[in-house]
Amino acid sequence: MEIELNDSKHTRNSWMERFETYLPEVVYGSIDGIVTTFAVVAGAAGAELQINIILILGMANLFADGLSMSIGSYLSNKSERDNYQKHLHIEEWEIENMPDDERKEIEMIYRQKGFEGKELEMVVNRITSNKKVWLDTMMKDELGLSEQKKSPLKAGLSTLVAFITAGAIPLAAYILAYAGKYQIDPFILSSLVTVFAFILIGYIKTYVTQIGLLRSILETLLLGAAAAMAAYFLGDYLEKLLV
């Protein structure tokens, strides 16, 4: 059951379209990944933990959280799709088995759009003469549901890859420090690299949210800074309290 009313707008090639479909997963997955991992790093730095402990917890958190986010993304996309299908079948059944009631609902929808008398009768006749259009009108105007075109599996995988890739960025400085490659404080190096990554993600995010570039970058930086500072000061405070 496919009803295509808006497709005249989509004339670009399918690769670009497919990429854009999962861009929200990539952007929000990256933000979650980098914020979470940097918060672990900041909390551990605040608590003055050793580099190997920071690496253990950062990496365990990276994979566990990445897995949980991507399974969550898979499940919520799947349940949205299932929910649409369920209501589609209910409306289909109702059109088949209680067409008079469903006709009255179309009548009510168009009465609220300002149709009356013979005009209303004509519109209702026309809409209900085509089951696809009838069903689509019920789904959109009565239930406010649009068809979910995302594949739950691809949404989950996009989230996983984006989360782990972006989340590895704040940890990279600690891997280098553990390997003894640098003399710089790994927390300072990690913070610098993370800020650059935030700016890049803020830039990519403008394609999803369609807000201005500066606001997008500032929002993403604010998010990361707030989380990192909360983790740092709490780590610092708890270290004095508990260690």
Q: Which of 16, 19, 72, 96 binds a second copy (CB under 8 A)?
A: 72
**Inter-residue contact 57 to 242 (CB < 8 Å):** no
Which pair of structure tokens corresponds to residue 131? 């089951």
Residue for token pair 């990519």: 204
Residues in 126-155 at the binding interface with a second copy, rule: CB under 8 A: 126-127, 129-130, 133, 137, 140-144, 146
Binding a second copy (rule: CB under 8 A), the pick from 21, 23, 49, 195 is: 49
- Nearest distance, CB of residue 233 and a second copy, angstroms: 9
Which listed range, 90-98, 162-170, 185-193, 219-227, lies at the site for a second copy (CB under 8 A)?
219-227
Q: Which is nearer to a second copy, 92 or 219 (CB)?
A: 219
CB 126 → a second copy: shortest distance, Å?
Answer: 6
CB of 171 to a second copy, least distance (A): 12
CA-based max dimension of the chain: 83
Rounded least distance, CB 89 to a second copy, Å: 13
Among 25, 26, 47, 177, binds a second copy (CB under 8 A): 47
Sequence-separated (6 or more) residues with CB below 8 Å from residue 94: 101, 102
Token pair recorded at residue 239: 């270290």
Based on the shown chain and the rule CB under 8 A, indicate whether residue 230 belongs to the binding site for a second copy: yes
- Residue closer to a second copy (CB basis): 122 or 214: 122
| 119 interacts with a second copy by CB under 8 A | yes
In terms of Cβ atoms closer than 10 Å to its own Cβ (0-12, 13-18, 19+), residue 188 is exposed
Residue 137 burial class via C-beta count within 10 angstroms: exposed 0-12, middle 13-18, buried 19 and up: buried
Which string of DSSP letters, residue by residue, matches 191-216? Answer: HHHHHHHHHHHHHHHHHHH---HHHH
Give the per-residue contact string, 89-118, with a second copy (x = CB under 8 A; - = no).
Answer: -------------------xx--xxxx---
Question: Under rule CB under 8 A, which residues in 153-172 are in contact with a second copy?
Answer: none
Distance, CA of 36 to CA of 30 (rounded, Å): 10
